[in-house]
Amino acid sequence: MLTHLDARNRPAMVDVGGKAVTRRSALASAVVSLPPALARLVTANEIQSKKGPLFQTAILAGVMGAKKTSELIPLCHPLPLDDCQIAIEAGLPDQTGAVDVTIQCRASTHARTGVEMEALTGATIAALTLYDMGKAVSHGIEIRDVRLLEKTGGKRDWRAGEEMGHPPSPKLRRGQQKAPRSQMKGR
């Protein structure tokens, strides 16, 4: 049953007033495929441009997006984020020279409702920022695999893959701090 519909099948915000305030966190990811022309510009896990460093700008945009989730998604409750960390890592080039960039966003709060939408929004806005800043080189950038990897707090914890018997191995785990840029893998 969908929770955002009232008895007459109309959109309605979920009443969370009776729920307990608990610590909640969520980890989401997105993959951005950079075509060869743009992938060639990746150096030390960053792309420098006239607009500034793409990955660093995407990190800031992702955090800002996560903070504004309730303004973008109509029935989301506004949540005060305790923390929002975004990690961006470029993979190795494939046989064509294209590179997949993995974005992960971990958001946390103490609230009556979960923070999954904030984590998903943060990862998505960071991906869209990479597209916006990279489109001057190529419009062949592809954003895919936006998904929730885990959520904790509330009634139950959840991790992607547990239904199938194989939990994911996210790069940014709960309680783990984002590695300094000098320690992140790059090309």
Separation in Å, CA 176 to CA 87, 106, 185: 11, 10, 16
State the Cα–Cα distance between residues 25 and 66, nearest whole angstrom: 13
- 83 assigned to active site: no
Q: Which of 82, 132, 145, 157 is catalytic?
A: 132
* DSSP classification of residue 11: B
Of 84, 93, 92, 90, the residue nearest 117 (C-alpha) = 84
State the Cα–Cα distance between residues 10 and 99, nearest whole angstrom: 43
Question: Which active-site residues does the annotation give?
Answer: 132
